[in-house]
Amino acid sequence: MRSTGVLWPHPAIAGRSPRRGSVCECGLIRLAPLLPVQYPWQAGSQCRTHMYFFLIIGCLFLAGVIYNIVKGDYREMAGGLVISAVMFAIFFARKRKAVREAEAISTPALTPLECCKCGTRDDVSRRAYLLTYSVIVYTSKSPGEFKPVCHKCRVRAGLLYSFATSILGWWGIPWGPIYTVQAISQNFKGGIVISDEKRGA
């Protein structure tokens, strides 16, 4: 299932429920037993767990900003405010991306898709390629935007993501090297594919 890179429909349609502590069916992220249940169709948004990580960090830095205002330390306040704004911006950007991906997964194309690389309409699917980056103990593995790519261009279209992953992905403990290898391997298999047969529409 993960080797094909196909996103499966909502579990209610698939007739099964995801389990806590399991791996998303698209193979994006390993879930801890106590984290909220994630569905395969949400994995394109990098799973809610990682998305809300940025919201929590932003709130913590915002609390620090308020504390520094009360304390009168405006230099620390400015730094915390910048970091908090960046975290909130990432959160809302990923939230908008999740909405676009949900529409791409559930909505069939009304017109024939054209490959974004060569322009052909033969054997074209919507594909997304994985990007992994790490910072010490934090590792993120998520797909980019879903784009129409033909079978012939499936590897070439993901080279930029694989190159970025090969530079940014290794530097996390313990998941950095593991997710880096997984992401590059999946990209060279053609990324994550949305097939019409597996849509949740």
Tell me the average pLDDT across 2-10: 38
On the question of pLDDT at 105 being above 80, the answer is no
Beta bridge partners of 187: none
Q: What does the alpha-carbon distance between residue 105 and residue 153 come to, in Å, rounded to a whole number?
A: 21
Output 22-29 pairs: Cβ under 8 A, ≥24 positions apart: 25/1, 26/2, 26/192, 27/2, 27/182, 27/186, 28/130, 28/141, 28/142, 28/143, 29/141
pLDDT of residue 3: 35
Per DSSP, the chain holds a count of helices (H) and strands (E) of 5, 5
**Which residue blocks in 25-122 are alpha helix, DSSP H?**
47-71, 74-106
Give CA 139 to chain center in angstroms.
12
Nearest to 129 by CA among 97, 167, 155: 155
- Residues ≥6 apart with Cβ < 8 Å to 74: 68
**Share of residues in the chain with pLDDT > 90 (%):** 33
Q: What is the mean pLDDT of residues 69-94?
A: 89
Query: What pLDDT score was predicted for residue 35?
Result: 32
- The predicted-structure confidence for 14-70, as pLDDT tens digits, reads as follows 344 444 333 343 333 333 333 333 333 344 444 566 678 889 999 999 999 999 999
Using one digit for the tens of pLDDT, what is the confidence trace for 136-185?
A: 888 888 888 888 999 999 999 999 999 999 999 999 988 999 999 999 99
Query: Distance between CA atoms of 76 and 34, rounded to whole angstroms?
Result: 34
The pLDDT, as a whole number, for residue 48 is 62
pTM here?
A: 0.63
